[in-house]
Structure 1
């Protein structure tokens, strides 16, 4: 269940309320009993923990790939067969 922040525009009373998404919006301030209690817009309160997809899947994405240690150091000329010398 999400936590919603409410604030009264009459007495400035603030309260965080744990509600279901299907619950009706609170309108009456519990402090001054005025119908000026409104839901506030707040940032989401969650935190990503652990290794996560962003570390394991996209760590080297976008950069150059590391060179393979065996194939990058071998010159192309040495892998071709030597020309035969027939007389």
Structure 2
């Protein structure tokens, strides 16, 4: 279950709440009782450390599929610049 940070603007009360994804968003401040309790945008609570795929793959450039598509787009046309490519069966 994710932990969400909430804050009430008028009174400044802040608290983290453990909630299911299906739980309704809280709106009533537990401190002052106003309907101004709002969910805050926070950063993810984990970091990728070590030398796994996220640290080594694609570090030097685009992923292989993107590199292949980019090479295909920049390749010169076949058959003397007419655009027709006899090697592709067209």
Query: Structure 1: where are the runs of 5+ without partners?
Result: 63-87
1:45-60 counterparts in 2 under 5 A?
45-58=45-58
RMSD after superposition: 1.7
TM (norm. structure 1) is 0.60
TM-score, normalized by length of structure 2?
A: 0.58
Would you say the 8 A contact 2:48–2:54 is kept in 1?
no
Structure 2 match to 1:81: none
CA distance in 2, matches of 1:2, 1:13: 20
What is the CA-CA distance between 1:50 and the residue it aligns to?
3.0
Which fold has the larger relative contact order, with Cα–Cα distance below 8 Å and residues 6 or more apart in sequence? 1
Cα pair 2:5 2:14 within 8 Å, conserved? yes
Q: Number of aligned residue pairs: give it.
A: 61
Of the two, which has the highest radius of gyration? 1
After superposition, where does 1:1-87 map in structure 2 within 5 Å? 1-58=1-58, 61-62=60-61
CA deviation after TM superposition for structure 1 residue 44, in Å: 1.4
Return structure 1 stretches of 4+ with deviation > 2 angstroms. Answer: 54-59
Question: Which has the larger helix fraction?
Answer: 2
